[in-house]
Amino acid sequence: MSGAVTIRDAVPGDAALLTQFVRALAEYERLLHEMCATEADLSRALFGSTPRAWALFAECGGQPVGFALWFYTFSSFAAKPGLYVEDVFVVPEHRGRGIGRMIFRDLARRALDEGCLRMEWWVLNWNAPAIGFYRSIGARPVDDWTVQRLDGAALREFAG
């Protein structure tokens, strides 16, 4: 598939497509066993009365070839928002064409337009191609912090 790549915001009718992309990402990251999101869950989170996240699609010749999903964080030290990139995925046959760079540039512009202090995301340690790409756009690791997670039974027990 050749042609110009365009970026468009996800709309309520895209919930099924979004679910397909999330599943493809989960497979790529070897985390499909953790995916429990449904089309209805994603629709509610992105298009419900109180959106919790936003998404976009990269299209080539009108066909979706990539997506991103993000939400906003907040820095109390700076009293400014941040844009947290939850997911970015480009289908394998379209990698190496600058689509990931286009997606990240779009997100960077959104972050600046929203007055965000920064963009942040996680990357799996084994994902050398992604890490190399992130370095190429000027991203740097934040090694002074360790991610902490409270979920599942531990979350329920602690909230108890």
Give me the domains of the chain, ranges plus CATH numbers.
5-159 (3.40.630.30)
Instruction: Give ∠ CA 30-36-40 in degrees, rounded to 5.
Output: 135
Q: Is there a catalytic annotation at residue 28?
A: no
CA–CA gap between residue 63 and residue 65 (Å, rounded): 6
Q: What is the mean pLDDT of each run of 10 residues along the chain (160 residues)?
A: 87 97 97 96 97 98 97 97 97 95 97 97 94 95 92 94
Is 15 within 8 Å of 39 (Cβ atoms)? yes
Task: State the pLDDT at residue 2.
Answer: 63
Task: State the pLDDT at residue 1.
Answer: 52
Task: State the pLDDT at residue 155.
Answer: 95
Enclosing H/E stretch for 109: helix 99-113
Q: Which residues, including other chains, have CB under 8 Å from residue 122's CB and lie 6 or more apart?
A: 147
Which candidate in 28, 72, 84, 134 is catalytic? 134
Taking only Cα atoms into account, the Rg of the chain, rounded to an integer number of angstroms, comes to 16
Task: State the pLDDT at residue 120.
Answer: 97
